Structure 1
């Protein structure tokens, strides 16, 4: 009987030891996996820090080498650098100043004007002094980009674009029109960029926006009203307006 009890204790001890070793092994493997993931995350962070730094240094070098011999190329590089800096360093915030969003739109349109060799008839009526108003980043750019992607590239003669943005306190009213080649009236299907804007508006501004899109035979019209976030609302809104035409 005593021998049997000793045998049971021995078997029980071995089972407990095996269970303990298994638990230690699983815990050790988990620690190793966590260390591996941490090292990979640190490496990715290092890459994220190095790549933009290298990119902007390279763009600055290209700009300095082309400024004297190829001013148009230098202007393109500088505009691209400003847009990338905004996208990489500021667009990770939920909100950005409306003034910076509008500056990026002007930079983007300026780059497209150079690409079309000034053939593009562009009129912009965009407010300045909107630092107290904030908007979700990169919300308006896809709408402007669509004008060049689906409108200008299909125009047979003189491409044109008209962008008007007006502010009434914290309410932004935007009307964007562009010409396109004459075709049959399209249905409700739009590009990926516009659909993404529509979804973001529904998520971020569920009861604070209206978006209307008309795709006619020769013109594409986007009308957007959006209630913006207002910070330092006591500061008086500047009344001056930035206007750019093709004759400037």
Structure 2
């Protein structure tokens, strides 16, 4: 199986090799901060295009939502007639359009009808957005990588904004263009906010590192996944 791991603006594709001439089974999960939202039974290129569209929609919706309240998914059938079958459906997140579903989608996913697929996806998304940690990650981590690498160690995004007490330091090290910071002890009187002297980096990888988000807030990355 091939995976698409989504941390909003960051799309990570892990490709498995084809063996003995057989193509891998279709099935690319849409993942949000390492949590599976939906599984798309499509070839990789088509699935990637759909996932990009999902992320664009979600990116536009999330800033309008409250992370302390449950996020509701509802279904709107856009061309329903009593005498005809349902051909289209719209999944909405708190009333905002998120995913458009057609008969072609239902067929590709192996469902007998648009409502059957819409109900399945709506339930999956509803379960996902019940997680308060995920909701906070989406709010504070908009556009941020779900994990970073610093000095050979992997750090994972936490839904925590660190207060700026004037204790952050950086040597200028970056991850995907973003400056990496760490904190010095509160009683360290000799620290500098910015230093180009690599010897001033911690002697061992710190327990937490920090990146600035779009609001210039320090987001916390730790050694343990959320």
The structure with the larger Rg is 1
| More strand by percentage | 2
TM normalised by structure 1 equals 0.23
TM normalised by structure 2 equals 0.25
Q: Which has the higher contact order (CA 8 A, sep 6+)?
A: 1
| More helix by percentage | 1
